[in-house]
Amino acid sequence: MIAASVTDYRELARRRLPHFLFEYIDGGSYDQVTLGRNVSDLAAVALRQRVLRDVSHIDLSTTLFGQEMAMPLALAPVGLAGLNARRGECQAVRAAEAAGVPFTLSTVSACSLEEVAAAATKPFWFQLYMLRDRGFMREMIARAKALGCPVLMFTVDLPLPGSRYRDVRSGLSGSPGLRGDIRRAWQVLRRPRWAWDVALHGRPLMMGNVASVIEGHAPMADFLGWLGSNFDPAVSWDALEFIRAEWDGALVIKGILDPDDARAATRLGADGIVVSNHGGRQLDGVLSSARALPAIADAVKGDMTVLADGGVRSGLDVVRMLALGADGVLIGRPWVLALAARGQAGVRHVLQLIEAEMRVAMALTGVTAVADIDRTIIAQEGTA
């Protein structure tokens, strides 16, 4: 199968991955209403086509948090992403560097901060969850600082893990012990290419950043149960003061869906936010990122950098997010699906596809620079 789009990479990943891993990447929480809205609401944003403009020189470059980028895009943090290909986060960071965009490493990545830094030639971003063990958090922040990570992305919408039915059905969640191990092993045996590449030659299969606090539990042994017992449900806005005391770089709050929360992040000294519902994987039934973004951008844009994720499947979707008010866009599933299908080459290809699609969308809406993308390129129904 020749991959020409993110949708094609989704199918390739489905064919290659053990069932429980594909379901983890592809699924959302509860009945997946928000997961569907993320895609459909963004796709419903109609752009205003303009013609006979000089679009011979289109510039996708931008600067976020003092960092020059080839396009207004970053790879979002995705837990366990490195299990989708051999030492997967290391492959992904190299693909991001080749495309001139940032890579964000998850707290619960397979590869550690130090391993990814050894694979990279430039500093990457780091995403942090609030764990119960504050001493360990201080240590992790110090590790990110020592490696020169310029941006710390603090995820705030996971005080408790969402109810992800597909993970239960697949055996990733709620199946500890021998029975769960046998179930997952059978799924692995049905995917021999993945077993050879990752399970056999991609070891160690663990969460590299938090290995010292896992107490011997493997990432597949009730992964969501481990999250629930180690993440801190008592986290509040006071946590920003704790993090600010340890971190003097750019601080981005991920998981904002309400303008009042965006304003609070501004008052407490955050440098940016990510308008996000965790890819539809936490509270089902909330607004899609596309629906939430305009009001949030109106509330805080100019005071902080506004990023957005959720439902982005193409360069056209990136332009839509920018038109709705984002300064930059994060992609999660697209790069992980491509990683699962073709490794580093797949991630690089997806980024090339997004770049090409952005150029077409900009050319046919009559804009030649990222800074010129705003709501004027969104079509208004009923206008002559």
383 part of a folded domain: no
- Annotation says 217 is catalytic: no
Find tokens 């077409």 and name the residue.
360
53 part of a folded domain: yes
The per-residue pLDDT for 222 is: 52
Residue 281 in marked binding region: yes
Give the whole-angstrom CA distance, residue 210 versus residue 290: 33
Residue 255 in marked binding region: no
Residue 79 in marked binding region: yes
Q: Which DSSP string corresponds to 345-375?
A: HHHHHHHHHHHHHHHHHHHTTT--BGGG-SG
Structural domain boundaries enclosing 316: 6-373
Q: How far is CA 358 from CA 181, 297, 309, 316, 367, in A?
A: 44, 21, 16, 6, 11
Give the whole-angstrom CA distance, residue 336 versus residue 27: 13
Residue 78 in marked binding region: yes
380 part of a folded domain: no
356 part of a folded domain: yes
Residue 5 in marked binding region: no
203 part of a folded domain: yes
367 part of a folded domain: yes
By CB atoms closer than 10 A (0-12, 13-18, 19+), residue 71 is buried
Q: Which listed residue (19, 57, 278, 349) is catalytic? A: 278
Helices in the chain by DSSP H: which ranges?
6-16, 19-26, 33-43, 88-99, 113-119, 134-146, 165-170, 177-189, 192-194, 223-230, 238-246, 259-267, 289-300, 315-324, 333-363
Give the whole-angstrom CA distance, residue 167 versus residue 61: 38
- CB 72, CB 373: distance < 8 Å: no
The per-residue pLDDT for 211 is: 72
Number of independent structural domains in the chain = 1
**Residue 333's CATH number:** 3.20.20.70
Residue 197 in marked binding region: no
128 part of a folded domain: yes
Tokens of 338: 């491509």
Residue 57 in marked binding region: no
- CB 343, CB 34: distance < 8 Å: no
Residue 19 in marked binding region: no
169 part of a folded domain: yes
Please give the backbone phi and psi of residue 158, each rounded to the nearest 5 degrees, phi first. Answer: -135, 55
Q: What is the mean pLDDT of each run of 10 residues along the chain (384 residues)?
A: 95 96 95 97 97 96 97 96 96 98 95 96 94 85 96 91 88 75 89 93 83 58 62 79 91 97 94 97 96 98 96 98 98 98 98 98 98 96 55
